[in-house]
Amino acid sequence: MTPARHLVSVWNPAYAVDAMDAHVAVLVERARAHRRGEISEDEVHVWWGLVRSARRQDELPHLPDVLELDSQIEADVPTYLYLTDYNSLYVADVARVTVDNIRSKGEDAVPDYYKSLECDLWFRLWDIRRLVAQVTRAAVQKLRHLRNTRYHDQPVSLCGGVVELPLVVWRERLVMAEYIETLAGRLTE
């Protein structure tokens, strides 16, 4: 059985110092609007954009692989986007992957800082959870459980292995000892 595919991306603090806070704020506001009966549960989401590098000349070479994850999502396979700034690590539950310019479609679940940025891809996120806060070594360790499909299924490496973003990855199955250690870490955080 082929393992589920997921994504890893990096956000650039130069675009927005509080990028993660901006996305969470949109989610929180939309959750409040849902509780007030103003929007449906399906509208409780935020869009994360993969900002296009001004230096990149060509299309993303693995774009079809990334877009294929939308089929996985439609088949109700949990699909995650791991997000890091090399210091912290978050995981988001992905509801959709698209190349469509969602801003031109009137989508309002987008943080304001994207207004001046071009994006190659958009990810509709249902939820964002912090896994590691301000501990680079811990972020590196957590990412090692993900295998980069375009890098010979090697563990994700923040030093030298972060090319062709977003990375398409699959997760190793944790052995029981690692699972218990992970749970213990969550209880002490």
- Does the CA dihedral 84-119-154-94 come out positive or negative? positive
Backbone angles phi, psi at 65, to 5 degrees: -65, -40
For residue 119, the one-letter residue type is: C
Q: Assign 175 a pLDDT band (cuts: 50, 70, 90).
A: very low
Q: In 3-state terms, the chain is what percent helix, strand and coil (to 5)?
A: 30, 25, 40
pLDDT band for position 182 (cuts 50, 70, 90): low
Q: How many CB atoms neighbour CB 121 within 10 A?
A: 21
Q: How far apart are CA 82 and CA 55, in angstroms?
A: 24
pLDDT digits (tens, 9 = 90+) for 61-111: 899 999 999 999 999 999 999 999 888 899 999 999 999 989 888 788 999
Pair of tokens at residue 86: 């090399």
> pTM to 2 decimals?
0.86
Tens of pLDDT, residues 132-154: 887 788 888 898 889 989 888 88
